[in-house]
């Protein structure tokens, strides 16, 4: 299938007083029509900036897309003028935001907010837009939609508001929906409902989704492929089953160890990833994960590994790690059993403690 979205070597940077923040640093990926792609990583690893870059919504200044291309449906979004981009936003690419409590305008009724995209892009008049709005609300399972269209956002609960946001995103039948942590602000049961809804909609309308989250558990049941991001780069990409069965990058291992499992005994402790994400103004010269990696060698500090095909796995499984490349020392490591060099782990812990500790005030 032809790729709907093709992002090549995307660099988005923020020019701050302290220096240039390389928020997205050479990211390349594709999304096929109707496919669901997961982008996973910690806070501050560039997931959201990637999504905002796709719609050219980076606040400018201080942000800027410095390099790269974003081909959507055969057109480069980065080469469009403002009017063309506005024609795509909401119409071909839509976005679902993280916090439904703040992403709806408190003084406008639900119907006016959903109608906005319909009036802008599909040139519907008020009554058509209203009719369609009610249909959309029914589609996202809002009970008594007809009565609730004229309500204000504060009259909805968090989960209901997120449904409204989803209805808004769906309004113009976009080809691609970016969901930026769509369930983070919701509690777990509502989370499951919303994910279910998204999954059904993706199947029903053959809409491509990019699901951005820090929670591997969320992407597991939802996506066909997953990109793991760290420090503005993709460190591992594979299809979902492969990634969970056969992860090849210590950072992915760390993420997997830190989610609770149903099949584990209840006493088993979760293993966190020690250390802090790197400073994106002055990132480490070698592998970006090296300072926190308990499997590191000297080579990791010196040179950054390429995103390369992982030997002995499916063809589209790529990882960015010296240890798991041809002849690397981690090729046969079982991440579930082997936790790496424990002395290194201690060293990382101490390092973090010394960095985060507040300096003592003298003379007290």
Partner 1 sequence: MATASTTQERSAELNVLVRKQRSLWGDALYRLMRNKAAVGGLIVIAAAFIIAGFAPLFAPYNPIEIPQNPASQMEPLWTGSKYTDPRYLLGTDFLGRDIVSRLMYASRVSMVVGFIPTAIVFGLGVSVGMVAGYFGGWLDQILMRFTDIIYAFPDFLFLLIIVASFRNSPFGKILDGLMLIFVAIAIVGWVGVARLTRGQVLALKEREFVEAARSVGAKPSRIMAKHLLPNALAPLIVTAAFAVPGAILGEATLSFLGVGIIPPTPSWGQMINEGFPLFAANPWAVLLPAICISVVMLAFTFVGDGLRDALDPRMKT
Taking the least distance from each CB to partner 1, the nearer of 32 and 57 is: 57
Distance CA 257, CA 243 (A): 13
Query: Shortest gap between Cβ of 328 and partner 1 (angstroms)?
Result: 42
Q: What are phi and psi of 116, to 5 degrees?
A: -55, -55
What is the torsional sign of CA 141, 142, 147, 153? negative
Distance CA 67, CA 69 (A): 7
In degrees to the nearest 10, what's the CA dihedral of 29, 175, 125, 102?
-50
In DSSP terms, which residues pair with 6 in a beta bridge? 30, 71
Query: Shortest gap between Cβ of 10 and partner 1 (angstroms)?
Result: 18
Please identify, among the stretches 33-41, 68-76, 140-148, 229-237, the one whose residues bind partner 1 according to the rule CB under 8 A: 140-148
Query: Shortest gap between Cβ of 175 and partner 1 (angstroms)?
Result: 14
Taking the least distance from each CB to partner 1, the nearer of 168 and 229 is: 168
| Helix (H/G/I), strand (E/B), else coil: 111 | helix
Binder to partner 1 among 90, 159, 278, 283 (CB under 8 A)? Answer: 90
Binder to partner 1 among 6, 12, 41, 89 (CB under 8 A)? Answer: 89
The Cβ of residue 79 has, within 10 Å, a number of other Cβ atoms equal to 10
Q: How many residues bind partner 1 (CB under 8 A)?
A: 36
Binder to partner 1 among 16, 75, 102, 173 (CB under 8 A)? Answer: 102
| By the rule CB under 8 A, 91 interacts with partner 1 | yes
- Measure the CA angle with vertex 140, ends 135 and 141; round to 5°: 95
Please identify, among the stretches 89-97, 210-218, 300-308, 320-328, the one whose residues bind partner 1 according to the rule CB under 8 A: 89-97
Taking the least distance from each CB to partner 1, the nearer of 1 and 107 is: 107
| By the rule CB under 8 A, 75 interacts with partner 1 | no
Q: What are phi and psi of 197, to 5 degrees?
A: -60, -45
| By the rule CB under 8 A, 86 interacts with partner 1 | yes
Considering only residues 250 through 309, tell me which ones interact with partner 1, judged by CB under 8 A.
none
The Cβ of residue 81 has, within 10 Å, a number of other Cβ atoms equal to 7
Nearest to 52 by CA among 114, 117, 7: 7
Cβ contacts of 85 within 8 Å, gap of 6 or more = 55, 56, 77
Taking the least distance from each CB to partner 1, the nearer of 5 and 88 is: 88
Binder to partner 1 among 13, 36, 103, 183 (CB under 8 A)? Answer: 103
Please identify, among the stretches 116-124, 207-215, 238-246, 263-271, the one whose residues bind partner 1 according to the rule CB under 8 A: 116-124
Binder to partner 1 among 17, 81, 106, 343 (CB under 8 A)? Answer: 106
Taking the least distance from each CB to partner 1, the nearer of 109 and 224 is: 109
- Which helix (H) or strand (E) segment is 94 a member of? strand 93-96
Binder to partner 1 among 147, 267, 269, 343 (CB under 8 A)? Answer: 147
| By the rule CB under 8 A, 120 interacts with partner 1 | yes
Q: Counting beta carbons within 10 angstroms of the beta carbon of residue 78, is it exposed (0 to 12), middle (13 to 18) or buried (19 or more)?
A: middle
DSSP state of 89: B
| By the rule CB under 8 A, 87 interacts with partner 1 | yes
Binding site for partner 1 (CB under 8 A): 55, 57, 61, 86-91, 94-95, 97-99, 102-109, 116-117, 120-121, 143-144, 147-148, 150-152, 155, 165, 168
């Amino acid at each position: 299938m032809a790729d709907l979205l093709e992002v090549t070597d995307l660099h988005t940077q923020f020019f701050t007083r302290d220096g240039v923040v390389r928020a997205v640093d050479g990211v390349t990926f594709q999304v096929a029509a109707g496919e669901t792609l997961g982008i996973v990583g910690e806070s501050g690893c560039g997931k959201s900036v990637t999504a905002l870059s796709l719609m050219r919504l980076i606040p400018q200044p201080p942000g800027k897309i410095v390099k790269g291309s974003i081909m959507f449906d055969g057109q480069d979004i980065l080469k469009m003028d403002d009017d063309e981009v506005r024609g795509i936003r909401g119409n071909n690419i839509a976005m679902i935001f993280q916090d439904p409590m703040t992403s709806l305008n408190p003084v406008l009724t639900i119907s006016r907010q959903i109608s906005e995209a319909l009036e802008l892009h599909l040139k519907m008049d008020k009554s058509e837009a209203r009719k369609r709005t009610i249909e959309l609300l029914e589609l996202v399972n809002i009970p008594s939609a007809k009565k609730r269209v004229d309500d204000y956002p504060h009259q909805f609960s968090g989960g209901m508001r997120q449904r409204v946001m989803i209805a808004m995103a769906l309004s113009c039948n976009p080809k691609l929906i970016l969901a930026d942590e769509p369930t983070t602000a919701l509690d777990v049961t509502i989370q499951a409902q919303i994910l279910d809804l998204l999954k059904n909609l993706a199947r029903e309308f053959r809409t491509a989704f990019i699901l951005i989250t820090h929670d591997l558990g969320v992407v597991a049941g939802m996506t066909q492929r997953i990109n793991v991001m760290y420090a503005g780069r993709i460190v591992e990409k594979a299809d979902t089953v492969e990634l969970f069965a056969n992860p090849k990058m210590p950072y992915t291992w760390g993420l997997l160890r830190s989610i609770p499992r149903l099949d584990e005994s209840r006493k088993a402790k979760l293993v966190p990833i020690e250390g802090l994400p790197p400073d994106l103004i002055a990132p480490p010269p070698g592998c970006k994960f090296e300072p926190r990696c308990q499997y590191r060698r000297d080579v990791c500090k010196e040179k950054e590994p390429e995103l390369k095909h992982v030997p002995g796995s499916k063809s589209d499984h790529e990882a960015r790690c010296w240890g798991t490349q041809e002849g690397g020392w981690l090729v046969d490591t079982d991440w579930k059993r082997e936790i790496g060099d424990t002395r290194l782990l201690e060293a990382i812990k101490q390092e973090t403690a010394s960095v985060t500790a507040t300096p003592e005030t003298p003379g007290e």
